[in-house]
Structure 1
Amino acid sequence: MVILEHLMTSFIAAAAFGIIFNAPRQSLFKCGIVGMLGWIIYMIMYLNDMDAVLATLLASFVVAVISQVFAKMYKTPVIIFSVAGIIPLVPGGLAYDAMRNFVQNDYNAAINLAAKSFMISGAIAIGLIFSEVINQIIRNARLNAGARRMR
């Protein structure tokens, strides 16, 4: 039952942010799917005792790959799927807890939470960038192979 709640919540969050970011109406369901898959990857890794930062890195990489596939399939910009799909992975609650601890003068806990929040945010960025770099390498290899055949 808990897994179903996670599936539904992550789907709704990603689709709702698609609405907020003015994604085309026909892509909202796909945005929800991307966010849901990213969150499930994260949850599977995290529940199997993987560090939250590494689980987030893997999940954001998967979100970026699926976003690129959907963008190509549906002839839509990648950013529509990747931004909405990343939303469930953003460490908003962790950042909130860090700020709350700062306000309550519990600096040790605040710094630990803030550091973890920054690392998770960095893992999201690295996952997105790594996916795009691999995509560019593959695209350039295909272009070069096609150019060699033309000679």
Structure 2
Amino acid sequence: MSQKIDLQKFSQESKSELPANKKLKEKLKKTKPKNLDETFHQLHQQTFEEIDCLDCANCCKTTSPIFLQTDIDRLAKVFRMKSSQFIDTYLRRDEDGDYVLTTAPCPFLNQDNTCLVYEDRPKACREYPHTDRKNMLGILDLTLKNTLVCPAVFKIFYEIGKDYRK
């Protein structure tokens, strides 16, 4: 059973826990637990049984996915535009040279937190919040950033930290 997420409370809590979560990230990188992927995947499953993304959509409200050329071409086709027109309308290059949205919240986010282009959404959106990927050790920096965006990632990180905060 999912409950409404208080994004203001989440934002305050995740920021206040950031120093502890940074320490946890460093500890995980140092100790390289062999079962880290398995632990993340198990907690991912449990957490998403409790949290419904449609009750939150904070990722869509505050951050942009990276758009690959294949994403751009696919979405341009959906909107019957040329890829260059889609880029001019919705995207900009970030400091790393990646295509990201020019605005937040995402222009494809509906009032009810559903996605206008869900079936055709970018790869980064399909994979978000990346807590069920292989080699979690290799993306701990990204996962730490996502503790500030996604209540599910925050909860997963908290649960993992229980074993390391003793």
Q: Give the TM bin, normalised by the shorter chain.
A: under 0.3
More helix as a share of residues: 1
Larger Rg: 1
Relative to the length of structure 2, the TM-score reads 0.23
Relative to the length of structure 1, the TM-score reads 0.25
